[in-house]
Amino acid sequence: MATTFDATQLPVEAERKPSRAAGFLNSFLLRRLLKALFTAFVVITLTFFLIRLLPSNPIELFIQELMVQYSMPYHQARDQAAALFAIDLEKPLILQYFDYLGGLVRGDLGTSILSPGTPVTSFIKRFLPWTVFSVGLALMISFTSGVILGLLMAYRRESLLDHILTVLASVLSAIPNYILGILLIIWLGVRWGVVPVAQMRGSLSPGVQPGFTLAFFQDALFHAALPIAAYVLTTVGSWMLTMKSSTISVLEEDYVTVARAKGLKESRITTAYVGRNAALPLFTLLAISIGFVVGGSVLIETIFQYQGIGYVLLQAVNRRDYVVMQGVFLIITLSVIFANFFADMLYSWLDPRIKFGAAE
Amino acid sequence: MNLVKQTLASLGTTLRIMSYNKVGFAGFLMVIFIVLMSFVGPYFIPLDTVTKVDKIFQSPSAEHWFGTDHQGRDIFSQIIHGGKDVIVVAVIAGVLSTLIAVTFGTLSGFAGGRTDAFIMAITDVMLTIPQLPLLLILASLMKFENVTSLGVLLGLLNWPSLLRAVRSQALSLKERDFIEAARSLDLGTTHIVFREIVPNMMTYIIISLALAMTGAIYAQVALVLFGLVPFSGSNWGVMLSLAWVRGAIFFKDSVWYIMMPIAAIVLLQLSVVTTTRSLELVFNPRLRSGE
Amino acid sequence: MSQADDAFVHHESIFEKPPLSLRNVHIMYKSRKGAVNAVRGVDLDLRAGESLSLIGESGSGKTTLGLGIVRLLVKTAKVTQGEIIYRRDGLEMDVGQLDAQQLREFRWRECSMVFQSALNSFNPVLRIWNQMYDTAKAHGWSDRRAVREHVLNLLRFVQLDAERVIDAYPHELSGGMRQRVLIAMSLLLDPQVLILDEPTTALDILTQRTIIDLLRRLKDEQRLTMLFISHDLAIAAELADRIATMYAGKIVEIGSADDIFYRPRHPYTLGLIRAVPKVIGEFEDLVSILGSPPDLVDLPSGCKFHPRCPFATERCRREEPDLEQVGQDHAAACWHWQAVEEEVADHPLHQSLPAQTIVYSGE
């Protein structure tokens, strides 16, 4: 069929396409994985030196406390501190650092000061799952409903619905999450008495056994409902507004006009052409949001007495249990790093352009 | 001199465009109102510190506009006196983190190469560490008796996301003609960053400042509320904390005590945020045409 | 197709009637300055198997008209008057009267479109295959294997490495390749009418050439009915059987390609041709049209071209001329078409067709 020579006819891509190995080395995900590992390393190091090198570092504070409270001699207080922090204070700093890293690898984060004999890891095992559950579910609900509502607002631009939702979104995102939590307790719980706040404390009702039972899931949801409501209500507004403006710009894209010209069903255009493309930029904001919500869990869990890892952290801070503080802070940060990497994976799966670093 | 003139001129234009968005402009006026009430108000309305056992937890009346607290003291006077600290911390933190974000963000975007990679690596790590837990731990290790040190700490932690935004803004400005011209005249990086790029980002910097301030309000009230900074005296965060601890939520008449500082904090946050929406019009002409 | 079929009305003796007829079409859109009269009463027949080129400066309303035919105008724009009649197999319907479902089925199945910006015509997150299959499925053709076979054939027809391109993402293809894929996609449902809006404008000169060759083959081999919208006379010259010149929302001259190039009867057409350099020519022969296109919100009185027209008289300022026959199958809307005829006779136009346009005033 083709007789004329055509310079652009056959793709030169074949030559330009990197080999599989080179492609992986250059790939977005690998770079993100390296970044996550680097960040984790920096955070681990930072946590160690924060504890050891600050002028009023917790070990010194703790030694002084022991000396004052129990009138211990310095060396005895020092030995006890060393034992609890799982650090040999006699060694040079750099060797202490390697011991600390070694401990981490073995899963040893030290032992609680205030509940002697309880390793920090046992706190993490007990409390972290509840935070992962409530924060994770809240992020998913908030992101999904923000995307759907933002899309709706962009399609019904300048309508009454759009104006109402815009005001609502702006007001909600201006309220600090812990204040919204307090408001929920005051009005829903105490003044109107619609929600049994007192019974919702804790992460499970007494007597309910964890397992794959309906009763367990219902109870877990019952206890997590208020924290989740607080996270969702305070974050959904910014997703809505971002999605709205992103959708408005995607609606002007040529490929949307072409999709209409092709006679595609409006439902298909809205989901696969407009929605998916408009939601992509939101994934890059997911990292910031994850950190913010996880950080906020410290306050929210305390307000609702929800027994997750954030609750444990604030308890440890208030009671100056430095070993628990250090370990829990590290775990919270590592969870955020992992969640960010997960968000990146999702993003690269949804946007083929970034796989080989084109859009980076 | 030229810089001052340029800044004033862009400020005038900014105000005019801001008034296009009525909600945003109302927010802006509200910010000014709250600031005036908090800084000028205390000279006219004395702080009520006298315990009055017969007036505990009263709802609003002509005598006590916002009601009374658990010791029968006037809440209105506490609200008037309690804003100053909150605003001062917010401004110190906001200015500091904006300064860091703008300086290093433009440097990073403009210099590129290794400088950029280095600054961005630090920023990414900082961005990943959840701010509030870090803040709690630092607050437990250090003592913040005064407003300034708290503001400085918040400012030192709150810049990473702003820096990223400023950097991408600088990257797009970098390609513009007038920057090319300055570069071909060999005017030097410092000159280009502070004389060419920063003035052209004025409106954007103001938005960054507003966002940094809301972040600082969020964090400082949290620290005070959870008893991690031993502030005393009248401060909206302290009021909220006291009302919470004293069980103000349980009675119909006492609920005013906790709602008033909440209303003050939320109103301040909301007006700063809506002001940003108005400022965005200045920054993004595309939104302007949508009006 | 069932519902769109219902929209057809049986009509006696309309064989050989044109597939597409525009009757007194007006399109207006709202702007801040006021109502913009983008298209002001266009009558046009697109004959079966012909390729008609619509030329004019930007702002002449040609693209608006093209989008109006498939009702893809932006929300602020509206067809205020007139009919768009579409005919197939002796049945006819008014595109303006179709409901949402019928319109959806009419688009691409009956009348497909190739857009100006092929670079942005594809959804960046879907593979070419998915975008093709989406289109087929939307029109009730969901036999994956048959669709795939057909798509591969079409991609081969547009001279692409079909097996590779079909599973590629748009960003993996060059601009020229994307334009070919778009042309292949426009043929997917075997439509009767194809509208091409500036199909080569966004491409570099070499790629333009290959796309023009491809379109030429399409015209010669497929006998598709095509409407080319272009500001580029060179393309019109190569691809069109007939040419219509648009100015300020109206067709001011229409005729065969030969008539338009060698015997123009409207001063605006003459100006457009004189603004094109000849293959062998002197620079002083080049004359650009003075002035700029009219303000569509506040149009001049009488003939809309009179402020820029060297032939303009008092009458032109008062009355707007309608199209009148100036030759066999050749019409122009000018009070002074005879004067233009004399002018052309005195200073004959080029003997060879223009090779390539230069930028002329207003473009």
B212 reaches A (C-beta below 8 A): no
Closest CA relative to residue C113, chosen from C182, C195, C179: C195
Report angle CA A47, A51, A56 to the nearest 5 degrees: 140
Do the Cβ atoms of A43 and B128 come within 8 Å? yes
User: What would the mean pLDDT of B38-46 be, rounded to a whole number?
Assistant: 84
Please report whether residue C246 resides in a domain.
no
Phi, psi of C86 (to 5 degrees): -115, 135
Please report whether residue B192 resides in a domain.
yes
A54 reaches B (C-beta below 8 A): yes
Residue C16 confidence (pLDDT)? 66
How far apart (Å, rounded) are the C-alpha atoms in residues C254 and C270?
Answer: 13
pTM score over 0.90: no
Please report whether residue C134 resides in a domain.
yes
**Six-digit token pair at B285?**
């002409």
Give the residue on C whose Cα is nearest the Cα of A16. C172
Give C182's contacts in chain A (Cβ within 8 Å): 258
Give the residue on A whose Cα is nearest the Cα of C123. A255
Do the Cβ atoms of C174 and A11 come within 8 Å? yes
How far apart (Å, rounded) are the C-alpha atoms in residues C96 and C7?
Answer: 11
Please report whether residue B125 resides in a domain.
yes
CATH code for the domain of B218? 1.10.3720.10
CATH code for the domain of C34? 3.40.50.300
Please report whether residue A19 resides in a domain.
no
Chains that touch A (3 or more CB pairs under 8 A): B, C
Q: Which of B130, B141, B270 sits opposite A174 (nearest CB)?
A: B270
**Six-digit token pair at B41?**
């108000």
Question: Where in the sequence is the domain holding A125, given as residue range(s)?
Answer: 121-320
Pairing of strands C193-197, C225-230: parallel
CATH code for the domain of A303? 1.10.3720.10
Mark whether C73 and C33 lie in a shared domain: yes
Name the helix (H) or strand (E) containing B267.
Answer: helix B255-283
How far apart (Å, rounded) are the C-alpha atoms in residues A180 and A190?
Answer: 14
Q: What is the pLDDT along chain A (360 residues), one digit of tens a residue?
A: 333 333 333 333 333 444 455 555 557 788 888 888 988 998 888 888 876 766 666 777 777 777 777 777 888 888 877 777 776 767 777 888 888 888 888 888 878 877 777 888 888 999 999 999 999 999 999 999 999 999 999 999 889 999 999 989 988 888 999 999 999 988 887 778 788 888 888 888 887 777 778 888 888 888 999 999 999 999 999 999 999 999 999 998 999 999 999 999 999 999 999 999 999 989 888 878 888 899 899 999 999 999 899 999 998 888 878 788 888 999 999 999 998 888 888 888 888 887 654 433
Please report whether residue A279 resides in a domain.
yes
How far apart (Å, rounded) are the C-alpha atoms in residues B192 and B208?
Answer: 21
- DSSP code string of A49-84: HHHHHSTT-HHHHHHHHHHHHS---HHHHHHHHHHH
Mark whether C155 and C197 lie in a shared domain: yes
Q: To 10 degrees, what angle do helices A322-350 and A28-53 make? A: 170
Which residues partner with C28 through β-bridges?
C37, C78
Please report whether residue B19 resides in a domain.
no
Domain count, chain A: 1
Encode pLDDT of C316-350 as tens digits: 998 999 998 998 899 999 999 998 888 888 877 75
Give A49's contacts in chain B (Cβ within 8 Å): none
Please report whether residue B223 resides in a domain.
yes
Name the DSSP class of C291. S
Q: How many beta carbons lie within 10 A of that of residue C145, not counting itself?
A: 7
Please say which residue of C209, C240, C271 terminates a domain. Answer: C240
A57 reaches B (C-beta below 8 A): yes
Mark whether C158 and C267 lie in a shared domain: no
Closest CA relative to residue C120, chosen from A255, B88, B202, A334: A255
Please report whether residue C182 resides in a domain.
yes
Residue of higher predicted confidence among A173 and C202: A173
Please report whether residue A8 resides in a domain.
no
Terminus-to-terminus CA distance in chain B, angstroms? 35
Q: How many beta carbons lie within 10 A of that of residue B175, not counting itself?
A: 8
What percent of chain C is predicted at pLDDT more than 70? 87
Domain count, chain B: 1
Q: Is A329 helix (H, G, I), strand (E, B) or coil?
A: helix
Please report whether residue C146 resides in a domain.
yes
Residue C276 confidence (pLDDT)? 67
Mark whether C209 and C349 lie in a shared domain: no
Which residues partner with C193 through β-bridges?
C111, C225
Question: Where in the sequence is the domain holding C47, given as residue range(s)?
Answer: 3-240
Mark whether C153 and C109 lie in a shared domain: yes
Which residues partner with A74 through β-bridges?
none
What percent of chain B is predicted at pLDDT more than 90? 12
Q: Is C351 helix (H, G, I), strand (E, B) or coil?
A: coil
Q: Distance, in angstroms, between B15 CA and closest chain A CA?
A: 21
Instruction: Average the pLDDT over each of A294-303, B249-258, C155-164 and give the range with the smallest value.
Output: B249-258
Name the DSSP class of C30. E
Which residues partner with C352 through β-bridges?
none
Please report whether residue B209 resides in a domain.
yes
What percent of chain C is predicted at pLDDT more than 90? 39
Please say which residue of C240, C273, C304 terminates a domain. Answer: C240
Give A42's contacts in chain B (Cβ within 8 Å): 125
Q: Which band of pLDDT confidence, cut at 50, 70 and 90, is reported for residue C44?
A: very high
Q: Which of A43, A54, A245 sits opposite B129 (nearest CB)?
A: A43
User: Does the pLDDT value for residue C285 go beyond 70?
Assistant: no
Contact (CB, 8 A) for A40 and A303: no
ipTM of this complex: 0.84
Residue A16 confidence (pLDDT)? 40
B221 reaches A (C-beta below 8 A): yes
Residue C242 confidence (pLDDT)? 94
How far apart (Å, rounded) are the C-alpha atoms in residues C134 and C39?
Answer: 33
Question: Where in the sequence is the domain holding B214, given as residue range(s)?
Answer: 63-274
A350 reaches C (C-beta below 8 A): yes
Interface of A with C in 250-289 (CB under 8 A): 253-255, 257-265, 268, 272-273, 276-277, 280
Instruction: Average the pLDDT over each of A173-182, B9-18, B81-90, C86-95 and give the range with the smallest value.
Output: B9-18
Mark whether C302 and C185 lie in a shared domain: no
Q: Which of A183, A186, A295 sits opposite B133 (nearest CB)?
A: A295
User: What would the mean pLDDT of B122-129 be, rounded to a whole number?
Assistant: 87
Phi, psi of C26 (to 5 degrees): -115, 135
Give A337's contacts in chain B (Cβ within 8 Å): 128
A194 reaches B (C-beta below 8 A): no
